[in-house]
A and B are shown apart, each in its own frame.
Chain A
């Protein structure tokens, strides 16, 4: 069969609904009798709660109910640990998870204490303002480098120190590498982090119907099935009594996979208690405190090399900021640990981290999920090594690439999915060659840069590599049905947040069944439509759900061929599926529309043959044994204004390998968006906390997100090494754009300002911070102001 749908830049099925304002988002759900919720949240990062007075609030107009932690009774309990620590020998792990409402103590600003239910959101907020909470403020732990000191305030009672976890992984013997090395370079790297800032804040509508004993919940979650299962358990309901719908979601990027947020625990409980539907929509200010973030790590890292630039070993000891609670296990620091080695064949590695509690909002994965921290350390170490050894920065990378013949390549450590970190496939030199050629590396360094420098311009080039572990298990499933109308419906359990699943998944089905993509209707994120699954995270939607859909579509194709073969009395291999019909090859008049065949497969008379099933439908699952490793090279050329330290990106290039591509238009969109978020992370965004744990820039006026005049045109090109780990050969692509932008900025800016011999060891930068670094370098070099 000729490929007609798979791999094509087909425009999206979901767009007309989104473009005309007809797509249903959570806050668009209106129900009769709907009540609204507002929260009283902690003003302090760390404090005892001595009293809560809700008497005035309770008497205000429109107030229906007010609850605090005590009111929840037995329903109050700390949330589940989503992922246990990996089975690594000798690890330490102290479980402390978030609670629905703070009881006795608050541990970060914005932690919910009281929930107010009223006839409108306006009235709920009026009343919430009149709730009085009596606090005894405590000193707060803000700086992660102080969290483990003996005199640090203790955040969680019952622990001896603010330690969430300690874990060591190693490969080979780093000490031996040290003995054999000609050069050892050690540095301290700091990587701070921002907030995902999805355009849609979180929100929930919970509706308990006492007569049918059914709970329906619309939730901006990336994992509706896991939410349903957890809620059923908490509420003492059967899973079949709970329907969770993740409708259109206005961006996820990771924080919407967190569970259970306090609001997700409270809203259904309130709805059941009051027997009325309730809605809570997070506002932007709340989002800065109550939605999870991903932040700080400090790495003490060293690299051991031969004098010709061959890396013998890397040692990295780092601190990871878990925030006030750690419900998500160790995914983020393990991603940092497991992504650091990147595209390089490094025989010896020692990696140790301490995850620490701080009085800041909870840390869970946000696009990249700790991978960028590892990539930053490794790429920076290579840049410094290249400079010290007098080797070109591209050349030092080439000398250390894992060669194509070494795949599958075993890194001998355990990844976030608890499977061995084995790269399935890749061709790193090919992508590098392409990037070097497309960015004009040699010409820039030899001709353009000297010419522009002579004109007084500070121009520089950056070029870095990365890998991304994607498409991890456990599994996803899908049901594909040919309807009597001839349309095809597809249901899968994952949620969708703008990735184009309605189209790319439809392409997978269209390819097998020979129907138009527009005639494939996809339902995602509704537990009533598909029962089993895990969620949208770790760049796994296309890989895992995509392959499940492929499997189901292949099964349906086989059913169609079998049925048509019976009906037409011809061999299956003489049939073809195209234009929505099945027909004998070369005989258009033999065509049976698929809808008609579906009707004949569900007869009103006669019998369905033993061992067969009615209809043209199949449910199938896919679970990869381990994740597929995507990779790429980013390169950019910048000009730095030496007065203002503003950085202008003149060119930005991505050469990317995510295996076989379903829809190149959607893929490029994913890359563009990832790069834009990476640029924000590298140069614009930073959550700034004072010593009391107050966030100083909790609004879009103060927190700088990249805009259309700061994100450049992004050039893209591709290398394709199909993954052998799944039938479609796909690797995930959701996070790749964002991962390597930090070290890319650092390298390019250093190059542009090479006269100051800067060494940039931190992200994010900003014009202010760059100015400070240049001033310090200027003083050290005794360079006068020009």
Chain B
């Protein structure tokens, strides 16, 4: 990270397997950087203060809330957004498939945040109980589904990921590389 002037900074980050170098104001939020500079608009902003979880992305495999991080804080890290989760609209990640099968989304605005919260959760808890699932997503707000079908989707995803995907593959993300 280089300091260009009093306000401008340059940083380099890997997003969905692609390395990006950006120069801009230090105050630029990570969510705004992803959405408006990289046009990765699948990450959505619901509250701007880290309460609703809609803006969750992965940084080095861990869930972080991009609305309360500065973009420069991602310098030298690896980010995965929802655009980097599945291969394509036809070839979804098992978690995405499970959300579709179980009707785990309605308006879809909070969905990316749920997915990016659940990816590391399922890696660490491949066979979660309902209580564990509900606790894991209790920091994400959804106003449409009442959570029930999200919970069902997570159960289905856990099942399909443990049977269809080898432990090795499910432990490494992304499942594909844009690089």
Q: Do A and B come from one complex?
A: yes
User: Interface of A with B (CB < 8 Å)?
Assistant: 11-12, 14-25, 27-28, 30, 122, 196-201, 248-251, 253, 283-285, 497-500, 665-666, 668-669, 672-677, 699-701, 705-709, 711, 713-714, 737
With A198-B143, A708-B151 already in contact, the answer to whether A284 and B42 are too (CB < 8 A) is: no
Q: Which residues of B contact A707 (CB under 8 A)?
A: 138-141, 147
Query: Interface with A: B70-78, B102-110, B166-174, which one?
Result: B102-110
Let me know if B109 and A708 touch, CB within 8 A: no
Q: Which of B34-52 contact A (CB under 8 A)?
A: 35-36, 39-49, 51-52
**Could you tell me the distance between the alpha carbons of A326 and B78 in the complex, rounded to whole angstroms?**
50
Given the complex, which residues of B lie within 8 Å of A22, measured CB to CB?
A: 42, 83, 89
Find the A residue at minimum CB distance from B148: A672
User: What is the CA–CA distance of A122 and B151 in the complex, to the nearest angstrom?
Assistant: 38
B145 contacts A18, CB within 8 Å?
A: no
Contact A284–B48 (Cβ < 8 Å): yes
Determine if B175 is an interface residue (Cβ-Cβ < 8 Å). Answer: no
Asked if B48 and A283 make an inter-chain contact with CB atoms under 8 angstroms apart, the answer reads yes
Q: How far is the CA of A551 from the CA of B143 in the complex (A)?
A: 33
Chain B residues whose CB sits within 8 angstroms of the CB of A497 once the complex forms: 107
Given A19-B92, A669-B149, output 14 extra A-B contacts at Cβ < 8 Å. A11-B103, A14-B108, A22-B42, A23-B108, A25-B109, A199-B141, A199-B144, A250-B44, A285-B48, A498-B105, A498-B108, A668-B149, A673-B145, A699-B49
Across-interface contacts of A16 in B (CB, < 8 A): 89-90, 92, 100
Residue B119 lies at the interface, judged by CB distance under 8 Å to chain A: no
Residues of B close to A701: CB separation below 8 A: 49, 51
Cross-chain pairs A/B with CB under 8 angstroms, 10 sampled: A12-B103, A20-B88, A21-B41, A21-B81, A30-B39, A200-B109, A284-B47, A284-B48, A285-B48, A711-B148
Asked if B18 is an interface residue, CB under 8 A from chain A, the answer is: no
- Which residue of chain B is the closest to A500 with respect to CB atoms? B106
Give bound CA distance, A672 to B109, whole Å.
17
CA distance A705 to B138 in the complex (A): 11
Given A20-B82, A122-B27, the answer on whether A251 and B42 have CB atoms closer than 8 Å is: no
Please tell me if B30 contacts chain A, counting CB pairs below 8 Å: no
Whether B122 is near chain A, meaning CB under 8 Å from some CB there, is no
Contact assessment for B143 and A673 in the assembled complex, using a CB-CB cutoff below 8 Å: yes
Among A19, A253, A674, the one with the most B-chain Cβ atoms within 10 Å of its Cβ is A19
User: Which residues of chain B are near A668, meaning CB under 8 Å?
Assistant: 103, 149
Which residues of chain A have C-beta atoms less than 8 A from B146's C-beta?
672-676, 706, 711, 714, 737
Shortest distance in angstroms between B67's beta carbon and chain A's nearest beta carbon?
Answer: 10
Interface positions, chain B 113-146, Cβ under 8 Å from A, are 115, 133-135, 137-146
Q: Which residue of B lies closest to A713 (CB)?
A: B148
A20 interface neighbour in B28, B48, B92, B144, Cβ under 8 Å: B92
Cα A603 to Cα B55 in complex, Å, equals: 51
Cα A676 to Cα B137 with chains together (Å): 15
Contacting B144 at CB < 8 Å: which of A28, A201, A251, A708? Answer: A251
In the complex, what's the smallest C-beta–C-beta distance from A371 to chain B, in angstroms?
A: 19
Given contacts A199-B107, A499-B106, A708-B138, contact A21 B40 (CB under 8 A): yes
Given contacts A19-B105, A199-B54, contact A27 B35 (CB under 8 A): yes
A201 to B115 CA separation, bound complex (whole angstroms):
21
Q: Is B158 interfacial (CB-CB < 8 Å)?
A: no
B159 at the interface (CB under 8 A from A): no
Is B60 in the interface zone, CB < 8 Å from A? no
Q: Is B17's CB within 8 Å of the partner chain A?
A: no
**Complex Cα distance A452/B123, Å?**
39
The number of residues on chain B lying at the interface, defined by a beta carbon within 8 Å of a beta carbon of chain A, is: 60
Q: How far is the CA of A201 from the CA of B46 in the complex (A)?
A: 7
Contact B100 A11 (CB under 8 A): yes
Min CB–CB distance A263 → chain B (angstroms) = 18
Find out whether the CB atom of B109 lies under 8 angstroms from the CB atom of A19. no
| Bound form: Cα–Cα A247–B49 in Å | 25
Complex Cα distance, B103 from A500, in Å, reads 10
Contacts of A283 in B (CB 8 A): 48
Say whether A250 contacts B108, CB under 8 Å.
Answer: yes
Give Cα distance in the complex from A672 to B150, angstroms: 11
- Cβ-defined contact, A19 with B134, below 8 A: no
Q: Does B161 contact A (CB under 8 A)?
A: no
**In the complex the two chains form, is A199's CB within 8 Å of B106's CB?**
no
Nearest CB of B to A370, in Å: 20
A716 (CB) vs chain B CBs: closest residue: B148
> B128 to nearest A CB, angstroms?
13
Of all A-B residue pairs in the complex, the 6 with the closest CB atoms, nearest first, are A21-B42, A498-B107, A250-B109, A18-B108, A672-B146, A676-B146
Q: Does B99 contact A (CB under 8 A)?
A: yes
Q: Which of A122, A500, A708 has the most chain B CB atoms closer than 10 A to its own CB?
A: A708
B47 CB to closest chain A CB (Å) equals: 4
CB of B46 within 8 A of CB of A284, answer: yes
Q: Min CB distance, A536 to chain B, in Å? A: 12
CB of B115 within 8 A of CB of A250, answer no
Do A199 and B52 touch across chains, with their CB atoms under 8 A apart? yes
Return the contact of A21 from the options B52, B82, B143 (Cβ within 8 A): B82
Docked CA distance A199–B35 (Å): 17
B56 interfacial by beta-carbon distance below 8 Å: no
Q: Are A669 and B137 in contact (CB under 8 A)?
A: no
- Is the pair A199, B151 in contact by a Cβ cutoff of 8 Å? no
Residues on B with beta carbons closer than 8 Å to the beta carbon of A19: 82, 86, 92, 96, 99-100, 105, 108, 111, 115
Query: In the complex, are the beta carbons of A708 and B147 less than 8 A apart?
Result: yes
**Across-interface contacts of B15 in A (CB, < 8 A):** none
> Is A709 a contact partner of B134 (Cβ separation < 8 A)?
yes
Query: What residues of A have a CB within 8 angstroms of the CB of B100 in the complex?
Result: 11-12, 15-16, 19
Contact in complex: B83, A498 (CB < 8 Å): no
Q: Are B143 and A700 in contact (CB under 8 A)?
A: no
Closest Cβ–Cβ distance, residue B89 to chain A (whole Å): 4
Question: Is there contact, CB below 8 Å, between A200 and B107?
Answer: yes
Q: Using Cβ atoms and an 8 Å threshold, which residues of chain A touch B106?
A: 251, 498-500, 669, 673
Knowing A11-B103, A19-B100, A30-B39, say if A700 contacts B141 (CB, 8 Å): yes
Which single residue of chain A is at the shortest CB-CB distance from B29? A122
Which of B89, B109, B134, B144 interacts with A673 by CB under 8 Å? Answer: B144
Nearest CB in chain A to that of B109: its residue: A250
**What's the minimum C-beta distance from A203 to chain B, rounded to whole angstroms?**
11
Interface pair A18/B105, CB less than 8 Å apart: yes
Closest to A367 in B: B143
Complex Cα spacing A351 to B42, Å = 49
B103–A699 touching, CB < 8 Å? no
Please state if B141 and A15 are interface contacts (CB–CB under 8 Å): no
Q: Which of A18, A198, A714 contacts B111 (CB 8 A)?
A: A18
Q: Which residues of A contact B144 (CB under 8 A)?
A: 199, 251, 498, 669, 673
A20 lies within 8 A of B96 (CB) = yes
B13 at the interface (CB under 8 A from A): no
Q: Which of B40, B45, B150 has the most CB of A within 10 A?
A: B45
Chain A residues with Cβ under 8 A from B151's Cβ? 708
- When distances are taken between beta carbons in the complex, the residues of chain A under 8 Å from B139 are 707
Complex alpha-carbon distance, A30 and B32, angstroms: 13
Least Cβ distance of A178 to chain B in Å?
Answer: 42
Tell me the B8-38 residues at the A interface (CB within 8 Å): 25, 27-28, 35-36
Cα distance, A386 to B28, chains bound together (Å): 61
A18 to B107, CA, bound (A): 8
CB-based contact B103/A248 at 8 Å = no
* Chain A residues near B107 (CB-CB < 8 A): 198-200, 248-251, 497-498
Taking the nearest CB of chain B, how far is it from the CB of A669, in angstroms? 5
B112 within 8 A of A: yes
Which of A18, A20, A669 gathers most chain B CB within 10 Å? A20
Q: Which residue of B lies closest to A679 (CB)?
A: B146
Whether B4 sits at the interface, judged by CB under 8 Å, is no
Partner of B83, one of A21, A27, A122, A251: A21
Residues of B within 8 A of A285 (CB): 48
A196→B141 CA distance, assembly (Å): 13
Nearest CB in chain B: distance from A507 CB, A:
14
- Contact check, B44 vs A708: say whether CB atoms are below 8 A apart: no
Q: Are B49 and A672 in contact (CB under 8 A)?
A: no
Partner of A15, one of B41, B51, B99: B99
With a cutoff of 8 Å between Cβ atoms, the chain A residues found around residue B25 in the complex are: 122
